[in-house]
């Protein structure tokens, strides 16, 4: 269903249309929930990079894309922390999920404000990761669904 929606919206709104990117994010969520995490990550990276260009790096949807990408990396058990950005075993740039979520929290506080529900959700997630230390084995599927659905509906 998400694949069909993405194809239809790409034809109607173009590859970089807001509606198309929402469908792509939803397909990423479906892939993540289905255990196809590498495919989900690729879609989430594409959504984030496109949203950084249009509507812009400081748009709430772009912040959500950052949180989704960090959440997907965490749900894969890829607890990359620290400044290293070496390639992983597949030649893909590694993602420092902690750094990405920290940046998301910082930007969302600045852009949305400390009382905004998304800022509070992002910061709560980051605080949970930090409290858990290196064993970030939190299930973030509920967070990803909350964030996606809040921007879609």
Q: What residue ranges of the chain have pLDDT lower than 50? A: 79-91, 93, 134-138, 153
Query: Would residue 119 count as lying in a domain?
Result: yes
Instruction: State residue 18's pLDDT score.
Output: 85
CATH at residue 58: 1.25.40.10
Domain that holds residue 126: 2-82+92-152
Query: Would residue 40 count as lying in a domain?
Result: yes
101/147 Cα distance (integer angstroms) = 14
Instruction: State residue 52's pLDDT score.
Output: 86
91/76 Cα distance (integer angstroms) = 17
Beta carbons of 24 and 47 less than 8 angstroms apart: yes
Instruction: State residue 152's pLDDT score.
Output: 57
Instruction: State residue 32's pLDDT score.
Output: 83
Answer positive or negative: Cα dihedral of 54, 56, 61, 63: positive
Q: Six-digit token pair at 147?
A: 């964030």
SS3 18: helix
51/53 Cα distance (integer angstroms) = 5
Query: Would residue 10 count as lying in a domain?
Result: yes
What pTM was computed for the model?
0.62
Query: Would residue 59 count as lying in a domain?
Result: yes
SS3 59: coil
Query: Would residue 87 count as lying in a domain?
Result: no
Write the Ramachandran bin of 81: left for phi over 0, alpha for psi from -120 to 50, otherwise beta.
beta
- Domains contained in the chain, number: 1
Instruction: State residue 105's pLDDT score.
Output: 92
Instruction: State residue 109's pLDDT score.
Output: 93
Query: Would residue 108 count as lying in a domain?
Result: yes
From residue 70, alpha-carbon distances to 1, 57, 89, 120, 153 in Å are 25, 16, 19, 16, 22
Query: Would residue 63 count as lying in a domain?
Result: yes
The DSSP symbol for 53 reads I
Phi first, then psi: what are they for 87, rounded to 5°?
-70, 150
């Amino acid at each position: 269903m998400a694949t069909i929606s993405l194809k239809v919206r790409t034809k109607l709104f173009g590859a970089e249309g807001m509606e198309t990117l929402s469908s792509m994010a939803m397909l990423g969520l479906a892939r993540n929930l289905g255990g196809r995490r590498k495919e989900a990550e690729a879609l989430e990276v594409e959504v984030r990079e496109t949203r950084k260009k249009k509507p812009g790096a400081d748009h709430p949807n772009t912040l959500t894309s950052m949180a989704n990408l960090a959440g997907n990396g965490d749900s894969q058990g890829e607890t990359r922390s620290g400044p290293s950005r070496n390639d992983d075993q597949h030649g893909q740039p590694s993602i420092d999920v902690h750094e990405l979520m920290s940046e998301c929290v910082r930007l969302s506080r600045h852009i949305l404000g400390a009382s905004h529900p998304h800022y509070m959700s992002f910061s709560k997630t980051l605080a949970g990761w930090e409290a858990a230390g290196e064993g970030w084995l939190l299930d973030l599927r509920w967070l990803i669904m909350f964030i996606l659905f809040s921007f879609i509906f």
